[in-house]
Amino acid sequence: MQTHLTILHRKLITLGITPVAWQALSATTVQVTRRKGRSLPYLCGDFFFVAEGLLKQEYLFNGAPVIERFLDKGTPCFITWPGQQQDFEALEDSVLLKIPADDLRQLTQADPLLATLFALLFAEWMNLLEIRIALLHGLKKDRAAAFRAAFPGMASRIAKKDLAQFIHVSPGYLSGNL
pLDDT at 162 (0 to 100): 96
Whole-angstrom Cα distance, residue 175 to residue 166?
14
pLDDT at 80 (0 to 100): 78
**From the centroid of its chain, how far is CA 113?**
22
Whole-angstrom Cα distance, residue 118 to residue 12?
9
- Could you give the strand order of the β-sheet that contains 64-72, starting from the edge strand earlier in sequence? 64-72, 54-61, 86-90
pLDDT at 59 (0 to 100): 87
Q: Which runs of E-coded beta strand occur in 5-102?
A: 30-34, 47-52, 54-61, 64-72, 76-78, 86-90, 94-99
- In three-state secondary structure terms, 177 is coil
CATH number given to 2-110? 2.60.120.10
pLDDT at 2 (0 to 100): 87
Sorted by where each begins, the domain ranges of the chain are 2-110
pLDDT at 178 (0 to 100): 58
Whole-angstrom Cα distance, residue 140 to residue 93?
31
CB contact at 8 A, 42 and 104 = no
Q: Which helix (H) or strand (E) holds 166?
A: helix 160-167
pLDDT at 177 (0 to 100): 62
The residue ranges of the chain whose pLDDT is under 70 are 81-85, 176-178
pLDDT digits (tens, 9 = 90+) for 49-83: 999 999 999 988 888 889 999 999 999 999 876 65
pLDDT at 79 (0 to 100): 86
User: In a 10 Å sphere around its CB, with 0-12 CB exposed, 13-18 middle and 19+ buried, how is residue 5 labelled?
Assistant: middle
